[in-house]
């Protein structure tokens, strides 16, 4: 208790300036992303993430996007707990046969308009797991995908850069723009 | 005690004679017994070595007209040996007597063998499949058999998984998953609750099953890239266990400098995961400030990983025969500098958590895993050390760690707090070890120049941050992988989680889960 009071008195509210390793890429991309989201989505883009059998590294990088260093929420991107609240489905993993029904049900539970983004090499075409008896050939064989974010796993800078570029001109490996 | 004394005792006291006993490497002994003696021999070994089943797996040898083989591995720290009890099984109607009523830790492995090979562990009452879910996969289709062909059209059985249900007045079921509210892997949990307390928890995993073991077959040493993707948070643990197994078979001598670099990377992996896990425990009881600090620590270490190896998860560091990335003077300077700043932050984090009464109140005596339960289930790694089991492969099987005077935590509580303290201790110890390793980094080559692929079999292992990762590999005539069995510590530890939450309330489940911090992908393979 004494310690807590002492810290409060002498230090005040503890804050520190954090600088990400890739801040030079990340911050401008984030500012651009914020403007785009404000314009196209009315301030916030809500994303529901589904892991369909990834090695969890992609999930870890998405969590890293939310850490105090990258803090993607300040640009208007929220990761939501229910597909009912989501504009966008973000899928990682090569789609294990066991997860295909759950993936479809999650997509069906989302309100229209909606779109699907894949993240990580194995979500594109099963990656290193290609040819296995138990994986589908990537998410795009099951759902309509509008953007793929490549990498194994993509780092936070790549994730935000890809999202910004996509919202800017609807580019990406899948040309169809649903937004 | 010598392993030969153990074998002698098996013969004299239990009247079990073996067909063949070979010491393959200095740390592996294979004991072949007759089909009738298998169960008794396994029971004896487990008691004698006071070890649960570390791995139990089958192999299809019908192409050599040898039927199937089943291997049961035990680890003995005092002998510094891995002891395999092996048996040959008739290929036409394959079955063996279930071991699970003499050694409980064999139970899950037996279910795995049944669904992957179609070998019947006669007497194992639990016929439910682990990974090939009944809803999407037909019966009598065994992927790890050599004559397996992926079915073109799948007609699943449309059966449903038989969850054990608690029934009675006021007992409710809460199904959760496989898609969860947070950003985590897929798994299904089914709680039976009487009011708030959990009276039974059923885990149904396997949603991340990708057929990894089958994918390894036919590949060569380049498959280390696949090993890195088995569990994305244990890249070094999996890739070094894989490389160790192949290096033993190919008789490759890894340069000492490479072994030190591997150890440094293994400890870095432990540090960023422990930081993330400690933050997760804080977050799951609603203490967001300290979890933010932990996230900063994790981020610092992952940025450091990128500086050192070019990858935030240390992918691409290892290769069969050594390492691909050097840690030169400039890199070790950055490494030591970052460690200082990380240590400062970490001490602050530990101070905040340890001095918060409400935090301690949530983690103390929550989710107790008793020592006896942990032993019976074969729980390993952090969870075992928190329940008072002193097991760590780094202590018993590594000269590098012995030179660095490796220390282990002493916790006995088995609750969330004990697991938290183990992770606190190991984080500090990792910092110390990395400093030792960097200081004593020997000069020399990074990898062995030439690798001669050859047939053979061996066990590779590494103590990852979660626990021991085991790879048993057999290569065929050309040196390509013929069978690869992987055991991630999550496989046995998930059972520990199912037991530790009993009697606790549902809101404590997330923090119990995070204190074990298990992998879905490593378990599901």
User: Which span out of A11-20, A118-127, B27-36, B270-279 was modeled with the highest average pLDDT?
Assistant: B270-279
Could you tell me the pLDDT band of residue A172, with boundaries at 50, 70 and 90? very low
Lowest mean pLDDT among A70-74, B19-23, B173-177, B233-237: B19-23
C-alpha span between A48 and B276 (Å, rounded) = 22
- B142 interaction partners in chain A (CB closer than 8 Å): none
- Computed over every residue of chain B, the mean pLDDT equals 90
Residues 285-324 of B with CB under 8 A from A: 292, 295-296, 298-299, 302-303, 306, 312-313, 315
Contact A129 B211 (CB under 8 A): yes
Average pLDDT over residues B172-182: 88
Contact B179 A55 (CB under 8 A): no
Residues 345-404 of B with CB under 8 A from A: 355
Residue B87 to chain A, least CA–CA distance (Å): 28
Predicted pLDDT at B156: 65
Global ipTM:
0.89
Could you tell me the pLDDT band of residue B157, with boundaries at 50, 70 and 90? low
Cβ neighbours, 10 Å, residue B30: 18
CA B309 → CA B78, B104, B229, B503, distances in Å?
Answer: 36, 42, 17, 45
- Pick the residue of A20, A134, A135, A151 with the most B CBs within 10 A to test the interface with B by mutation: A134
Residue A69 to chain B, least CA–CA distance (Å): 7
Residue A34 to chain B, least CA–CA distance (Å): 22
Nearest CA in chain A to B210: A134
Nearest CA in chain A to B307: A21
**What are B386-433's pLDDT values in tens digits?**
999 999 999 988 888 988 899 999 889 899 999 999 999 999 999 999
Cβ neighbours, 10 Å, residue B450: 7
Could you tell me the pLDDT band of residue A14, with boundaries at 50, 70 and 90? low
Contact B302 A64 (CB under 8 A): yes
| Tokens matching residue A166 | 């996509």
The answer to whether residue B354 scores a pLDDT higher than 60 is yes
- Answer yes or no: is A177 within a domain: no
Which among A57, A99, A153 has the least Cβ separation from residue B207?
Answer: A99
- Computed over every residue of chain A, the mean pLDDT equals 85
**What are A46-102's pLDDT values in tens digits?**
999 999 999 999 999 999 999 888 889 999 999 999 999 999 999 999 999 999 999
Residue A74 to chain B, least CA–CA distance (Å): 15
Contact A68 B296 (CB under 8 A): yes
- A83 interaction partners in chain B (CB closer than 8 Å): 179
The domain in which residue A139 lies consists of 22-169
- Answer yes or no: is A73 within a domain: yes
**Mind listing the domains of chain B with CATH numbers?**
3-122 (3.30.460.80), 223-441+492-517 (1.10.645.10)
% of chain B beyond a pLDDT of 90: 58
**What are B111-156's pLDDT values in tens digits?**
999 999 999 998 888 888 889 888 888 888 899 998 888 887 777 6
The answer to whether residue A170 scores a pLDDT higher than 70 is no
What is the distance between the terminal CA atoms of chain A, rounded to a whole angstrom? 53
> CB distance from B331 to chain A under 8 Å?
no
State residue B32 phi and psi, 5-degree precision.
-95, 125
C-alpha span between B465 and B396 (Å, rounded) = 16
Contact B208 A96 (CB under 8 A): yes
- Answer yes or no: is A65 within a domain: yes
Sign of CA dihedral B477, B481, B482, B484: positive
Contact B178 A102 (CB under 8 A): yes
Contact B212 A132 (CB under 8 A): yes
Which among B150, B178, B233 has the least Cβ separation from residue A133?
Answer: B150
How many domains are there within chain A? 1
Contact B303 A21 (CB under 8 A): yes
- Answer yes or no: is A5 within a domain: no
Predicted pLDDT at A177: 43
- Answer yes or no: is A125 within a domain: yes
> CB distance from B277 to chain A under 8 Å?
no
Answer yes or no: are the C-beta atoms of B167 and B196 closer than 8 Å: no
Answer yes or no: are the C-beta atoms of A93 and A123 closer than 8 Å: yes
Average pLDDT over residues B368-372: 92
Closest C-alpha among B260, B217, A164 to residue A172: A164
Token pair 């007045």: residue:
B169
- Answer yes or no: is A13 within a domain: no
C-alpha span between B25 and B455 (Å, rounded) = 15
Residue A49 to chain B, least CA–CA distance (Å): 6
- In this structure, what CATH number is given to the domain that contains residue A88? 3.40.50.12280
- Answer yes or no: is A84 within a domain: yes
Predicted pLDDT at A174: 42
Q: Each residue of B121-147: b (16+ CB within 10 Å) or e?
A: beebebebbbbbbbebbeeebbbbbee
Lowest mean pLDDT among B127-136, B265-274, B373-382: B127-136
E-only strand ranges, B245-333? 318-319, 322-323
What is the distance between the terminal CA atoms of chain B, rounded to a whole angstrom? 37
Which among A53, A62, A82 has the least Cβ separation from residue B207?
Answer: A53
Residue A108 to chain B, least CA–CA distance (Å): 13
| Tokens matching residue B93 | 């109607």
C-alpha span between B410 and B395 (Å, rounded) = 14
- Answer yes or no: is A105 within a domain: yes
Token pair 């183990």: residue:
B422
**What are B62-117's pLDDT values in tens digits?**
888 888 999 999 999 888 899 999 999 888 889 888 988 899 999 999 999 999 99
Nearest CA in chain A to B207: A98
The answer to whether residue B159 scores a pLDDT higher than 80 is no
E-only strand ranges, A38-109? 45-51, 77-79, 88-92
Residue A129 to chain B, least CA–CA distance (Å): 7
């Amino acid at each position: 208790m004494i310690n807590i009071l002492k810290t409060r008195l002498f230090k005040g509210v503890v804050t520190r300036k954090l600088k990400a390793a890739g801040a030079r890429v990340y911050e401008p991309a984030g500012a651009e992303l914020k403007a785009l989201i404000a314009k196209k989505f009315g301030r916030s883009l809500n994303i529901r993430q589904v892991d369909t059998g990834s090695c969890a590294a992609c999930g870890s990088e998405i969590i890293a996007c939310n850490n105090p260093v990258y803090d993607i929420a300040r640009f208007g991107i929220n990761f939501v707990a229910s597909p009912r609240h989501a504009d966008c489905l973000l899928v990682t993993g090569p789609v294990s046969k066991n997860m295909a029904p759950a993936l479809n049900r999650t997509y069906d539970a989302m309100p229209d308009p909606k779109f699907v983004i894949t993240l990580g090499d194995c979500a594109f075409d099963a990656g290193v797991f290609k040819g296995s008896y138990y994986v589908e050939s990537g998410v795009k064989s099951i759902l309509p995908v509008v953007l793929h974010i490549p990498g194994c796993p993509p780092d936070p800078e790549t994730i935000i850069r890809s999202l910004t570029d996509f919202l800017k001109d609807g580019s990406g490996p899948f040309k169809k723009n649903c937004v | 005690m010598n392993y030969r004394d153990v074998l002698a005792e098996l013969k004299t006291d239990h009247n079990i004679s073996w067909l063949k006993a070979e010491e393959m490497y200095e740390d592996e002994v294979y004991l072949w017994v007759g089909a009738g003696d298998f169960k008794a021999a396994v029971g004896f070994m487990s008691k004698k070595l006071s070890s649960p089943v570390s791995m139990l797996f089958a192999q299809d040898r019908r192409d050599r007209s040898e039927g199937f083989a089943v291997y049961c591995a035990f680890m003995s720290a005092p002998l510094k040996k891995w002891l395999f009890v092996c048996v040959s099984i008739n290929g036409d109607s394959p079955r063996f007597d279930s071991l699970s009523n003499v050694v409980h830790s064999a139970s899950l492995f037996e279910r795995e063998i049944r669904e992957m090979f179609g070998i019947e562990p006669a007497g194992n009452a639990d016929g439910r499949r682990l990974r090939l879910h009944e809803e999407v996969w037909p019966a009598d289709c065994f992927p790890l058999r050599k004559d397996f062909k992926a079915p073109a059209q799948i007609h699943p059985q449309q059966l449903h998984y038989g969850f054990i249900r608690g029934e009675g007045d006021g007992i409710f079921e809460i199904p959760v998953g496989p898609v969860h509210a947070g950003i985590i892997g897929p798994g299904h949990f089914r709680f039976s609750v009487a009011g708030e307390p959990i009276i039974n928890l059923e885990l149904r995993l396997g949603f991340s099953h990708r057929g990894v073991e089958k994918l390894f077959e036919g590949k060569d040493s380049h498959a280390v890239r696949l090993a890195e993707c088995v569990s994305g948070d244990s890249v070094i643990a999996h890739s070094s266990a894989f490389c160790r197994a192949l290096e033993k078979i190919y008789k490759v001598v890894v340069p000492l400098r490479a072994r030190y670099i591997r150890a440094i990377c293994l400890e870095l992996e432990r540090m960023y995961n422990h930081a993330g896990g400690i933050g997760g425990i804080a977050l799951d009881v609603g203490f967001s400030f300290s979890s933010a600090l932990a996230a900063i620590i994790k981020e610092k270490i992952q940025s450091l990983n990128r500086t050192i190896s070019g990858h935030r998860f240390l992918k691409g560091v290892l290769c069969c025969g050594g390492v691909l990335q050097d840690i030169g003077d400039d890199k070790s300077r950055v490494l030591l500098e970052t460690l200082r700043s990380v240590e400062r932050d970490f001490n602050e984090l530990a101070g905040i958590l340890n001095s918060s009464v409400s935090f301690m109140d949530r983690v103390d005596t929550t989710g107790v895993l008793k020592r006896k339960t942990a032993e019976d289930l074969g729980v390993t790694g952090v969870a075992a050390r928190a329940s008072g089991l002193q097991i760590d492969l780094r202590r018993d099987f590594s000269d590098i760690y012995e030179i660095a005077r490796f220390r282990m935590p002493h916790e006995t509580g088995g609750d969330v707090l004990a697991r938290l303290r183990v992770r606190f201790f190991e984080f500090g110890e990792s910092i110390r070890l990395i400093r030792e390793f960097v200081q004593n980094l020997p000069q020399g080559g990074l990898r062995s120049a030439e690798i001669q692929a050859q047939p053979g079999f061996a066990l590779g292992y590494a103590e990852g941050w979660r626990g021991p990762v085991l790879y048993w590999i057999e290569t065929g005539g050309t040196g390509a992988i013929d069978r690869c069995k992987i055991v991630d510590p999550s496989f046995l530890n998930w059972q520990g989680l199912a037991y530790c939450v009993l009697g606790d309330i549902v809101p404590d489940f997330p923090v119990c889960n995070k204190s074990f911090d298990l992998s879905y992908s490593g378990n599901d393979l």
